[in-house]
Amino acid sequence: MKSSFFEDVYEVTRLIPVGRVTSYGAIANYLGLKSSARMVGYALNSAHIDKTIPAHRVVNRNGLLSGKFHFEYPEQMEELLAQEGILVQDDKIIDFKGKFWDPQIDLI
C-alpha cells in the first residue's frame, strides 16, 4: 500500500484517545510536514465520509472548532465532543491545554 500523506493523517487521527483533542499543526508536525497543516484539514475534509475517523477531535491551534461546518450539521462536532467529556464554549474547547494530545509525545 502506498503510504500517502492523507492516509497517514487518517491513521494518526484514529489514534487520538477518547476525551482528548489535537491540532492540525500537531499532526502535520508529527508527519514531518509542519508547513502542511492546511493539508491536514483538507485530508479530514475527504475523511468525513469515513465514520471511523474521529475528525471532531481535531481542531485548530486555538482550540477553535474551525471545521464544524463540514459535519452533517454544525452542532454535531460540539455534541460529539460533549459526549466524550470535552466542553465547548463559543466554538472553543474549554481547557484546550489540558485536553490536548500530542502524537509526538504519546506515540513514541
Nearer to DNA, 36 or 88 (CB): 36
Is 31 strand, coil or helix?
A: coil
Q: What is the DSSP letter of 92?
A: E
Told to check if 101 binds DNA by CB under 7 A, we report no
Q: Are strands 22-23 and 58-59 parallel, antiparallel or unpaired?
A: parallel
**Which one of residues 12, 16, 21, 44 is an interface residue with DNA (CB under 7 A)?**
44
- Residues across the chain: 108
Stretch that binds DNA, among 21-29, 84-92, 96-104 (CB under 7 A): 21-29
- Residue 5 as a binder of DNA (CB under 7 A): the answer is yes
**Does the protein bind DNA through residue 62 (CB under 7 A)?**
yes
- The phi and psi torsions of 9 (rounded to 5 degrees) equal -60, -45
